[in-house]
């Protein structure tokens, strides 16, 4: 049995809270039942499966969403940001500091993974009341980690990063060494072999996101989205708290959840909604707007941003520049309209990567029946192709593994009114091989609670 999970975004709590440990306990309990059901075979017999592989498909730990990146100034010797020189000792030290803070804030959740033990009955004659059989056997369980755009740091080579990865391996109970964690399954032959047994081809999917993946530099480097996250999204709540002390505490606390807003370009709508729904006086509204504009100016002046601005090409920097500059000359309502327009017209309102799956060589040459991405946080299953004769061996599908995350999601009814609905989402995928699960080949599980 193969389980795929992505986008847990476990952080150090400086940029919003991670999903509660309850989600991990529920997952551990369900694994026992899933393993039992996978042990029922196509011929109706019960034979315990021998192995479970759990693939963590990127953005599991989230070092990017941390204000600890901001505790050094640009000209100081220990200055480090995701886009600075990875070879300088300060870089690895900062990553280690943030990683350990993540461990501390999510200790209970990570302990569930670290101590994961799947036990099922040795013999069964019925699927009903199966837990009454006390003669249990343990199913060998392996956890594998592939990186995404928020945790790509764990793919950086070097001794200092090996030491950090060793701590990650220990904290999550991983079945891999402290060598650079893979981005593509081809980067790890053992993992590629495991996934091939289930006809699965998987990677995080951020390679299709030009804002969060730098095609020229590859995955083991930062993208423009990293800079925007650290210098705008992470910094803004801190600066609000520091420069506008008269702001109500409830507003400040809500602004710290800015990293959980979806879609990401609705960030300003989230800020605007806090202003609107807390009936802030005009003087405070102006201060907040001017602070956002000031941070936008500083962001656009950053060397790393200017270097990303391509001459004679309308790129992501130009899009951000338009949005940030127009905000200076516009009312709140106009800015809100602009954000919605950019989301729909410039970035595109489509959040599915299903069509991108059609370009995967593993799909085209039919090495894989199932293409799996994460990244979008949008759990979905989309048929890609089949044949006229159609058997289950002909069906090719795209899966997105969704997320385990706290959301403040923009309501689609009258989005200009900036109404956000909070909830916690959980989703994961299961794949079966040979005659497991009575011949079924996949299933998806998801849930929402608040």
Exposed/middle/buried for residue 217 (C-beta within 10 Å: 0-12, 13-18, 19+): exposed
The reported pLDDT for the residue numbered 347 is: 46
What Cα–Cα distance (Å) separates residue 137 from each residue in 61, 120, 133, 430?
31, 6, 11, 21
Q: Quick one: which of 425, 17, 427 has its CA closest to 258?
A: 17
Alpha helices by DSSP H, listed for 229-383, are: 235-243, 249-255, 267-277, 282-301, 303-308, 316-328, 332-341, 354-357, 361-364
Looking at per-residue pLDDT, the higher value among 77 and 330 belongs to: 77
Q: How many CB atoms lie within 10 A of CB 176?
A: 19
Residues forming a β-bridge with 429: 4, 444
**Does residue 321 have a pLDDT over 90?**
no
| Confidence (pTM) | 0.91
What Cα–Cα distance (Å) separates residue 409 from each residue in 270, 286, 379, 440?
9, 25, 14, 34
For the stretch 104-125, pLDDT in tens is 999 999 999 999 999 999 999 8
**Does residue 398 have a pLDDT over 50?**
yes
For the stretch 37-60, pLDDT in tens is 999 999 999 999 999 999 999 999
**Does residue 282 have a pLDDT over 60?**
yes
Looking at per-residue pLDDT, the higher value among 293 and 196 belongs to: 196
- The whole-number average pLDDT for the span 269-281 is 77
Q: Residues of the chain with pLDDT > 70: what percent?
A: 87
Name the pLDDT band for 341 (thresholds 50, 70, 90). Answer: low
263: CB partners within 8 A, 6+ apart? 343, 351, 410
Q: How many CB atoms lie within 10 A of CB 412?
A: 7
Residues forming a β-bridge with 142: 53
The reported pLDDT for the residue numbered 389 is: 78
- The whole-number average pLDDT for the span 343-370 is 83
| Packed helices 107-114 and 159-172: angle between N→C axes, nearest 10 degrees | 80
| Packed helices 22-38 and 107-114: angle between N→C axes, nearest 10 degrees | 20
- The whole-number average pLDDT for the span 83-111 is 98
The reported pLDDT for the residue numbered 264 is: 62
Calculate the CA 59 to chain-centre distance.
4
Phi, psi of 100 (to 5 degrees): -65, -35
Phi, psi of 64 (to 5 degrees): -65, -45
List the Cα angle 97/59/116 in 5-degree steps: 85
Supply the mean pLDDT for the chain: 89
The answer to whether 205 touches 400, Cβ cutoff 8 Å, is: yes
Residues forming a β-bridge with 383: 397
**Does residue 326 have a pLDDT over 70?**
no
Residues forming a β-bridge with 422: 408
The answer to whether 240 touches 232, Cβ cutoff 8 Å, is: no
The answer to whether 271 touches 293, Cβ cutoff 8 Å, is: no
The reported pLDDT for the residue numbered 100 is: 99
For the stretch 198-255, pLDDT in tens is 999 999 999 999 889 999 999 999 999 999 999 999 999 999 999 999 998 888 888 8
3-state secondary structure of 210: coil
Alpha carbons within 13 A on the beta-carbon side of 359:
7
Name the pLDDT band for 388 (thresholds 50, 70, 90). Answer: confident
Name the pLDDT band for 263 (thresholds 50, 70, 90). Answer: low
The answer to whether 378 touches 352, Cβ cutoff 8 Å, is: yes
**Does residue 5 have a pLDDT over 50?**
yes
**In the structure encoding, which two tokens stand for residue 244, read together?**
């506008």
The reported pLDDT for the residue numbered 437 is: 97
Alpha carbons within 13 A on the beta-carbon side of 176:
25
Q: Are strands 370-373 and 51-57 parallel, antiparallel or unpaired?
A: unpaired
């Amino acid at each position: 049995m193969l389980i795929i999970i992505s986008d847990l975004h476990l952080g150090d709590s400086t940029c919003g809270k991670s999903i509660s440990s309850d989600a991990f306990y529920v997952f551990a309990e369900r694994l026992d039942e899933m393993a039992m059901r996978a042990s029922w075979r196509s011929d109706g017999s019960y034979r315990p499966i021998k192995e479970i592989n759990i693939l963590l498909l990127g953005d599991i730990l989230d070092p990017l969403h941390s204000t600890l990146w901001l505790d050094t100034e640009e000209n100081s010797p220990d200055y480090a940001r995701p886009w600075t020189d990875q070879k300088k000792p300060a870089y690895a030290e900062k990553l280690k500091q943030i990683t350990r803070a993540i461990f501390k804030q999510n200790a209970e959740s990570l302990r569930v993974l670290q101590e994961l033990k799947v036990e099922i009955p040795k013999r069964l004659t019925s699927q009903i009341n199966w837990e009454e059989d006390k003669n249990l056997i343990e199913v060998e369980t392996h956890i594998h980690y592939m990186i995404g755009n928020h945790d790509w740091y764990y793919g950086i080579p070097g001794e200092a990063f090996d030491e950090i990865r060793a701590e990650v391996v220990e904290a999550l109970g991983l079945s891999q060494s402290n060598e650079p964690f893979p981005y593509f399954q081809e980067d790890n032959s053992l993992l590629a072999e495991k996934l091939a047994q289930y006809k699965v081809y998987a990677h995080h999917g951020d390679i299709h996101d030009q804002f969060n993946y730098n095609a020229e530099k590859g995955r083991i480097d930062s993208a423009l989205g990293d800079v925007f996250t650290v210098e705008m999204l992470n910094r803004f709540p801190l600066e609000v708290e520091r420069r506008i002390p008269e702001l109500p505490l409830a507003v400040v606390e809500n602004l710290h959840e800015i990293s959980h807003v979806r879609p990401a370009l609705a960030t300003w709508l989230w800020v605007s909604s806090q202003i609107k729904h807390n009936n802030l006086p005009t003087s405070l509204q102006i201060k907040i707007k001017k602070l956002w504009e000031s941070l936008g100016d500083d962001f656009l002046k950053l060397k790393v941003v200017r270097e990303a601005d391509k001459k004679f090409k309308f790129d992501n920097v130009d899009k951000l520049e338009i949005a940030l500059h127009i905000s200076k000359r516009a009312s709140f309502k106009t800015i809100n309209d602009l954000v919605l327009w950019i989301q729909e017209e410039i970035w595109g309102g489509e959040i599915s990567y299903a069509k991108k799956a059609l370009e995967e060589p593993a799909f085209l040459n039919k090495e894989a029946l199932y293409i799996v991405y994460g990244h979008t946080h949008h759990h979905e299953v989309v048929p890609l192709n089949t044949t006229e004769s159609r058997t289950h061996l002909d069906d090719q599908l795209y899966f997105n593994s969704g997320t385990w995350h706290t959301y403040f999601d923009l309501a689609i009814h009258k989005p200009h009114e900036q109404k956000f609905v909070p909830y916690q989402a959980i989703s994961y995928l299961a794949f079966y091989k040979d005659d497991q699960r009575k011949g079924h080949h996949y299933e998806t599980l998801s849930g929402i609670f608040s």
